[in-house]
Amino acid sequence: MEAVLELTKDNIQDVVDASMKQIVVLAFWSQQSPESVALSQTLTGMAQKQFGRFVLAKVDCDKEIEIANYFQIQNMPTTLVLSEGKPIDGFAGLQEEEQIAAMLDKHLPAQWQLQLNEAKNLLALQDAEPALVLLKQAYTESPNAEIALVYADACLMLDDFEFAAELLATVGLADQDSYYQSLKAKLALALDAADSPEIRQLQQLVDNEPDNITQLLLLVKALHQAKRNEEALAILFSPLSKDIGVANGDAKQLFLEILTALGQGNTLANQYRRKLYSLLY
């Protein structure tokens, strides 16, 4: 349903039905009342800014007298909050946006809950990248276990095993349900698959010859390909911190390529980008 609509006799049943699942704000107004026109504009702006949190149904009482009478409207403006077909709150007269927001917040879902729900829908369609954007915003607002689990699920879909592991580590015992257990199992399988014989062999060679930069670069490339980027960057940063031009600049070039592949918004990339800048400047 649209964020803002005009309530009439023709669509009133649709609006009442919508209130069974979502808060509907009824704004009774009249062109004869400047205050109600001003309030209607304020509510319209709020509904558009908070799209998805509530539906604003505006009632032009000059045209829809029957609807106004049904709700026993005595004064203009009057605002009612409708839930499950019944008024549960409201106010008469003009109020500031901050006062209205405080009243509505008692009844509306948090923004993070809406973002989480939308992310779940996207993940059900295997569309993980836009879901990840919503989950990052939701987790920033409210870093709770409910979001962390879905966030970890999205990370696993996108092969970001390290951050998925970090998120799962934040989930307390009380929230370690069957969903959590399934994600832990997915992560374990992904990490096992990423620990190939080639990587183990390269790791052994680097352990035996820690100053062999050629072997080290091969190990870093293999780790990056296996999505084990935190390990790759940590290993590569060690020789770079001693000599930024090591391996004729190949090490720095590989380091930058991994950061670029991770993307601008990646937390790990940003962390190591700052470390690199500290060496350069």
19 lies in the same domain as 95: yes
187 lies in the same domain as 259: no
Residue finishing a domain among 173, 194, 215: 194
33 lies in the same domain as 101: yes
Please say if the pLDDT value at position 273 is more than 80: yes
99 lies in the same domain as 14: yes
Q: What is the mean pLDDT of residues 92-102?
A: 94
- CATH number of 204's domain: 1.25.40.10
* Cβ contact 232:224 at 8 Å: yes
**How many structural domains compose the chain?**
3
pLDDT tier at 150 (50, 70, 90 boundaries)? very high
178 lies in the same domain as 232: no
56 lies in the same domain as 118: no
20 lies in the same domain as 74: yes
Q: What is the mean pLDDT of residues 216-236?
A: 91
pLDDT tier at 15 (50, 70, 90 boundaries)? very high
pLDDT tier at 226 (50, 70, 90 boundaries)? confident
247 lies in the same domain as 259: yes
pLDDT digits (tens, 9 = 90+) for 26-43: 999 999 999 999 999 999
pLDDT tier at 172 (50, 70, 90 boundaries)? very high
Residue finishing a domain among 105, 122, 154: 105
- CATH number of 77's domain: 3.40.30.10
Q: What is the mean pLDDT of residues 139-146?
A: 96
Look up the pTM and report it: 0.62
Q: What is the reported pLDDT for 219?
A: 94
21 lies in the same domain as 96: yes
Least confident of 118-122, 209-213, 227-231: 227-231
Please say if the pLDDT value at position 265 is more than 80: no
Residue finishing a domain among 60, 78, 105: 105
Q: What is the CA 106 to chain-centroid distance, rounded?
A: 22
Q: What is the mean pLDDT of residues 112-126?
A: 94
> Residue 24 sits in which domain range?
4-105
Q: What average pLDDT is seen over the chain?
A: 92
Q: What is the reported pLDDT for 109?
A: 86
Measure Cα distances from 1 to 19, 26, 57, 144, 153 in Å.
11, 15, 11, 29, 29
